[in-house]
A and B are shown apart, each in its own frame.
Chain A
Amino acid sequence: MRRLLRLSFGSSDRRRDVERELRTHIDLRTEELIAAGMAPEAARRQAEDTFGDYRAIAADCTSIREHRDRERSRRGSLDALGRDLRYGARMLLRRPRLTAVALLTLTAGIGATTGLFSVVYALLLRPLPFPQDELLVRVGEGSVATGESGSGVSIPLAEQFTAESRTLQSGGYRLDLQVQVLSGSEPRNAAAAALSPGAFAALAVAPALGRLPARDEHDNGGTGVVLISYGFWQSHFGSAPDVLERTVQVNNSALPVIGVMPAGFIYPSETTELWLPAPRLPEQMRNRAVHLVEFVGRRHANATLDDVQLDLQRVYERGQQAEPGSDSGHRVEVMPLRRWMVGDSRAAVLMLFAAAALVLLIACANLAGLQLAQVAARRQELAVRTALGAGRWALVRQLATEALLLAAAGCTLGALLAPAVQSLIVASYPGGLPFTTQMRIDGRVLLFAIATGLLAVLLFGLLPAIQAMRLRGVSAIQTGFLRATEGVGRQRARRTLVVAEVALAVVLVMGAALLARSFALVLSKPAGFSAEQLLLLNVSLSRDRRSDQDVIRFYQEVVPRLTEVPGVIGASGSSALPISSGDSHGDLTIEGGVFAAGAAPGTSYRRVLPTYFRTLQIPLIAGREFDARDSGKEPFVVIVNETLARRHFGTPSAALGRRIKVGVPANEPWLTIVGVVGDVRNESLEANDEHATYEPHPQRPWRTMQMVVRTNRDPYRVLPAVRAALRELDAAALISDVSTMTERISGSVAPRRFSTQLLLSFALLALLLAALGIYGVATHMVHERRRELSIRMALGASGALIRRLVFRQAAWLAGLGALLGSVAALVLVRFVRRLLFEVSPADLTSLAATVALLAGVTLLAAYLPARHAAATQPASILRE
């Protein structure tokens, strides 16, 4: 400090010093000359002459001294810094347990939050691989009457959007396709996307090699061309430079490769490997009621999402006026493309990030409490340093240095831990997260780690530093009174910390309780069928089976053939098995019934093979199952679910014989209801499939069916025989996606399970930390008040009374924290409403469970200090 002052005094001081010195020289010279007999003035003049250019020399000397002072002070500060750091490190090492705990806490906390941050950043903030990606929007349709949303749009509407929109600079539609490609000699499934010219324009990404499809390649539809992904180019063509002259075998055609998309290009998901110009589809599919495609557009920079929504809604209504009746009563939904691509994982990941941050906060509060306790214990050390002239500022600097050392170490180790945390999240998030190729630990993420470390340091280093400032007196000998009054401030600080910790922990526990309840409720929902010992596999017929007759025949033969396999109790198939999202939906038309515009209920539909319901053990409530009669000739038949039957026909038996249409009325034939079956959770355990219809396979023969085989032993043991049987019927059929129904159900709830488990872990950790905080405060309190407690005991207070005192103190703190936490929880939990299932955010059971858990933990935490207080001998305390 003194050095700083000296430096700032600067030139004037130094200059004076130098001039004094030089003046002395001249004076001495003058004296000498006078002593030799010269006259005083002459002597002085002589002396000044022989001296030289006084001003120049003085200036020179002054600047030399200035440089020297600056060098010295710089070296001094560096020395002081080095001293502080070394001393700080030594002090930290002298309390290894505390330092280890702090370091571990910081590493884990910073590592976890940083790892989660990198995931959050990639999902929500990092720019997508499109120029100005924030301008991209996904447009869909929803029903005003039934509240359904998230549906795609029809091709005519998409073309209308492209042509008539004022707020979009470009836009087009996309059709997702599953195709077979020939990789070497093995066919495999691949995800492809067919895009209209407007969609290519909206994405505005130029291929790394080659070009985008030309106009005529779009219009023609016949001469197919294909763009491949960078990864596909690497794996399929070995990054061959002549790829633009090669072809890819897609389904039955050899498509020339016209371009390779850049590395990192993702649309619509990371699994998409091929992009094609959108083919011209048959007229039935170009119907307004068929919501076949996804629309993507690029809005003008000055158009907001609301502007786009209004604009496109107007376009939609104009279309309705031109062709009334179809696709009526819907509203246009516009959302940023990123939000649509990230989907549900957004809420879960954000929640986990918030949870990790909260746990870090609680941990820092604990550390702060520990440091505060340390201030008292280190008073001796600090007093000695003060006596040696360190001053209060030096003490604060000392504590700050230690905190910074811890933070630096914690940040470094945490940053090293972060990639592991990130990989863990990515690997264990079921179904995979989008944009995983974009997740990496880079500059921004590291910056976050440093910021977190600094914040942590501020939180747990600031309080003890403030307390150190308040240290009164330098004498190492303190009276008990002084000690007590100093302790009060620290006690208050520690108690506030504990209340805050408990509040935060309560928020987490409440959240975890709500999620746990949701999870339990999901699992408790009856699926509507029996899920045990079901083997599932996808069968795609080979290209040899060309005609519909071939396909129908295969699937007619397959059921009896599979039933012959030893271990198989029953076999069937469906175009979409239960617990598979991605069911087909269509509008429902009932003979003799009319719905208001837009209020037509949707229903899911699928093709099934005979004995489907028996195999899955779905109860048959009325009528019959499909059998050999239903060979695809008229009259067409259908089986509906119970809810549909009751809602529209009164009773299941009343539904038999009535007729319905599924899909666009103009395109679809009448279907006669021949059976009613029980409700099944076809989409997922969470969504109730209101209406479901089943048609026999021959009515709409699809080449790919999901087979289901019920076995009387472990399903996988039967798999080889089943495969062999299938190959007997079609040697080149593609068999894929083998699993069991139990696995599929487990997989469908896996994301929910993942979030719940992780949040539960965080919550328990938070509770443990809060308990440690309570324990610490209770111990501290017992220690500080031991004289008072001993007097009480000497005057006859029982051990139970003493224990109750301690418990009451702990309960008071925990209660206050619980109250604050509950209020905070009720407010914050609204943010995770999307993750809850049939549980309201203000669920009382969860609240009660949380409070009960907290009470138990508090009692446990206060138990040891209470017992210790009641067990101490009053005499020994009073004798101190």
Chain B
Amino acid sequence: MPGSDLFSGTLDLLILKALSLGPLHGYAIGRWIREATGEELKIQEGVLYPALHRLERRGLLEEEWGVTDTNREAKFYRLSPAGRRELRQQQTSWQRHVAAVGAALALTRA
């Protein structure tokens, strides 16, 4: 649920962003997040999957079994049109959130 748990909200946002550049399977999404955040966010890898399934249940992602480049069967995820919209919304609100917190922290006076 976006916003209620800061961490899961962040994870969802990252997943959406990861898929915005094209369909990926679960492992690839995890790797992308690790690399894109500069290894800053070390999440337990398994936690990714419930998040993916919840996003799919909300209709933000579409899933499909496919084949990796190593000829392994894997489940690929892809953004749905609703997912794309959600990503845009979340991105905007995240940026606003960061700006607001930054502004509050920058105050030198009480």
Q: Enumerate chain A interface residues (CB-CB to B < 8 A).
A: 18, 20-22, 24-25, 27-29, 31, 50-54, 57, 60-61, 64-65, 67-68, 71
Contacts and interface: CB of A to CB of B under 8 A. Distances in A.
A51 B27 contact: no
Please provide the 8 A-B residue pairs with the shortest distance between their CB atoms, ordered closest to farther.
Answer: A52-B46, A68-B57, A52-B44, A57-B46, A64-B53, A28-B27, A51-B46, A60-B50
Interface stretch (B9-17, B71-79, B86-94): B71-79
Contacts of B72: 24, 27-28
Contact of B45 (A24, A29, A60, A61): A29
B45 A31 contact: no
A31 B70 contact: yes
14 contacts: A20-B73, A21-B26, A22-B46, A24-B25, A25-B27, A25-B49, A28-B27, A51-B44, A53-B46, A61-B49, A64-B53, A65-B53, A68-B56, A68-B57
A377 B43 CA distance: 66
Given A21-B26, A31-B70, A64 B45 contact: no
Residue of B25, B45, B70 most packed against chain A (CB within 10 A): B45
B82 interface: no
Residue of B44, B45, B46 most packed against chain A (CB within 10 A): B46
Contacts of A68: 53, 56-57
Given A24-B73, A54-B46, 20 more contacts: A21-B26, A21-B49, A22-B46, A24-B25, A24-B75, A25-B27, A25-B49, A28-B68, A28-B72, A51-B45, A51-B46, A52-B47, A57-B50, A60-B50, A61-B50, A61-B53, A64-B50, A64-B53, A64-B54, A68-B57
A53 B30 CA distance: 17
Contacts of B57: 64-65, 67-68, 71
A29 B74 CA distance: 13
B41 to A, nearest CB: 14
B66 to A, nearest CB: 11
Contacts of A25: 26-27, 30, 45-46, 49
Given A61-B53, A65-B53, A67-B57, A29 B27 contact: yes
Contacts of B54: 64
Contacts of B50: 57, 60-61, 64
B46 A24 contact: no
A31 B25 CA distance: 16
B74 A57 contact: no
Name B's interface SS. Answer: helix
Interface in B32-87: 44-47, 49-50, 53-54, 56-57, 68, 70, 72-75
Given A24-B25, A24-B26, A50 B44 contact: yes
Interface of B: 25-27, 30, 44-47, 49-50, 53-54, 56-57, 68, 70, 72-75
A374 B74 CA distance: 53
Contact of A21 (B44, B68, B75): B75
Contacts of A53: 46
A21 B44 CA distance: 16
Nearest to A65: B53
Contacts of A28: 27, 68, 72, 74
Contacts of A21: 26, 49, 74-75
Contacts of B25: 24
Contacts of A18: 49
Residue of A21, A29, A53, A68 most packed against chain B (CB within 10 A): A21
A20 B27 CA distance: 13
A56 to B, nearest CB: 8
A27 B56 CA distance: 23
A61 B44 CA distance: 15
A454 B85 CA distance: 47
A805 B53 CA distance: 73
Nearest to A62: B53
A60 B50 CA distance: 7
B85 to A, nearest CB: 20
A24 B72 CA distance: 8
A24 B70 CA distance: 12
A745 to B, nearest CB: 80
A50 B47 CA distance: 10
B75 to A, nearest CB: 5
A22 B56 CA distance: 16
B74 A22 contact: no
Nearest to A57: B46
Nearest to A28: B27
Nearest to A64: B53
A19 to B, nearest CB: 11
A519 to B, nearest CB: 73
Residue of A27, A53, A61 most packed against chain B (CB within 10 A): A61
A280 B61 CA distance: 94
A29 B72 CA distance: 13
A64 B72 CA distance: 25
Nearest to A71: B57
A614 B73 CA distance: 117
A31 B70 CA distance: 10
Nearest to A27: B72
A50 B30 CA distance: 12
A21 B68 CA distance: 13
Contacts of A67: 57
Contacts of A51: 44-46
B98 to A, nearest CB: 29
A64 to B, nearest CB: 4
B60 to A, nearest CB: 12
A818 B45 CA distance: 84
Contacts of A27: 72
Nearest to B49: A61
Contact of A57 (B49, B56, B68): B49
Contacts of A24: 25-27, 72-75
Contacts of B56: 68
A29 B26 CA distance: 11
A27 B47 CA distance: 16
A153 B50 CA distance: 88
A614 B57 CA distance: 100
A246 B50 CA distance: 82
